[in-house]
Amino acid sequence: MLKYQTWYRHRVKEDNLQAMLALQTRLRSNIHNNAAISHEHGQDEPDLSAHHPVQPDEQIDEELHEDEIETEFKREIAMFDDPLGLVHSHVPDSGPGTPHDPNSLVLQFNQPPNREHLESQSPPVLQLLDLDVDYDSDDSKSNYEFLHAYSDPPALRYAYLNALSSHIVWKSPVRDAEANLKHTLTCLWLTPSGIPDHITPLTTLKSIRTQFGLNTSGLLHQVPICNKCYKQYLMADISSAELPAICTWERPTCSGSYMKLATKNGNTVPPLGPRSG
């Protein structure tokens, strides 16, 4: 809006200047005509320098009234819709010593930036985004750096996630969850383009957690159970039991065991039974 107001002032001055030049031309033409008529009648030619024609700057200063310009400018501004409610800044008048050169009545816009100066400047350093995820309600630490897990077909990834959710969410034992996973993989093998030939599917929950980089140990509660009937036992039963710890289920009688010796890294330790959700 400020540029438009400046342009409007320049346009008014230009119109007044053109009117003054036309008036000056008309006066000079009349003087020449009068001189020609006087010469025909034997009169002396009038001195044009004695008439002192009005200078352009004086004519503009006499005919240009600030109040009339402001009134006409506001009347034209009222014709436009200003939804943003911009404040029309007042443009200061030219000083008394400012020359009114028609060649200077050109709108001054912002100069383009110096390209050499821009090329000499080093580009700004981009700040790396923080990819760490803060889990407020989940204390378990998850590692999502295993991007190769997303290269598997969607159907295969769904089978893996379904096996994990069956074990963690729906409390299925590890054995049942892995059995259902194998059945799902068999269905995918029988489906055309279900599993590509270059992919070897995973068949255990441990390998799936490693593939996805998920640590679900904090979501599971480990309890001793029988390896056949899945009867749960207390830690006190483990402390007081003697090997072989035969299952105490009687109806019907179970021949399973809820504690046995296992070898891990060359050491014999009494592990817990299969984990249950």
Q: What do you get for the CA distance between the two ends of the chain, in Å?
A: 71
Q: Which residue has the tokens 């009038």?
A: 46
The per-residue pLDDT for 127 is 62
What sign does the CA torsion over 111, 116, 122, 123 have?
positive
Q: Residues 57-80, buried b or exposed e (16+ Cβ, 10 A)?
A: eebbeeebeeeebeeebeeeeeee
Strand locations in the chain (E) = 245-246, 257-259, 262-264, 267-269
Sequence ranges of the domains in the chain: 1-42+52-90, 147-219, 222-277
The per-residue pLDDT for 38 is 74
Q: Does pLDDT of 61 surpass 50? A: yes
The model carries a pTM of 0.34
Proportion of the chain above pLDDT 70, given as a percent: 51
- Name, of 130-134, 169-173, 243-247, the range with top average pLDDT: 169-173
The per-residue pLDDT for 203 is 92
Indicate the range of 43-52, 146-155, 219-228 predicted with least confidence.
43-52
Rounded-to-integer distance, Cα 225 and Cα 227, Å: 6
Are 223 and 204 in contact, with CB atoms under 8 Å apart? no
Q: What is the DSSP letter of 264?
A: E
- Name, of 38-52, 88-102, 144-158, 222-236, the range with top average pLDDT: 222-236
- Name, of 45-54, 132-141, 251-260, 268-277, the range with top average pLDDT: 251-260
What sign does the CA torsion over 59, 65, 66, 69 have?
negative
DSSP string, 210-258: HHHT---GGG-----B-TTT--B--HHHHHH--SSEE---TTTT---EE
Rounded-to-integer distance, Cα 165 and Cα 149, Å: 17
Rounded-to-integer distance, Cα 216 and Cα 150, Å: 19
Q: Does pLDDT of 121 surpass 80? A: no
The per-residue pLDDT for 172 is 87
Rounded-to-integer distance, Cα 277 and Cα 219, Å: 8
The per-residue pLDDT for 137 is 45
Identify which has the larger pLDDT, 145 or 244: 244
Proportion of the chain above pLDDT 90, given as a percent: 10
Query: Residue 272's pLDDT band (boundaries 50, 70, 90)?
Result: very low
If one counts every other C-beta atom within 10 angstroms of the C-beta of residue 107, the result is: 9
If one counts every other C-beta atom within 10 angstroms of the C-beta of residue 114, the result is: 9
The per-residue pLDDT for 233 is 85
Rounded-to-integer distance, Cα 219 and Cα 142, Å: 12
pLDDT tens per residue across span 183-211: 999 999 998 888 888 888 999 998 888 88
Average pLDDT score, the chain:
69
pLDDT tens per residue across span 85-113: 444 444 455 555 455 555 544 455 556 66
**Tokens linked to 194:** 């279900």
pLDDT tens per residue across span 135-165: 444 444 444 445 566 778 889 999 999 999 9
The per-residue pLDDT for 245 is 80
Are 195 and 153 in contact, with CB atoms under 8 Å apart? yes
Rounded-to-integer distance, Cα 105 and Cα 11, Å: 9
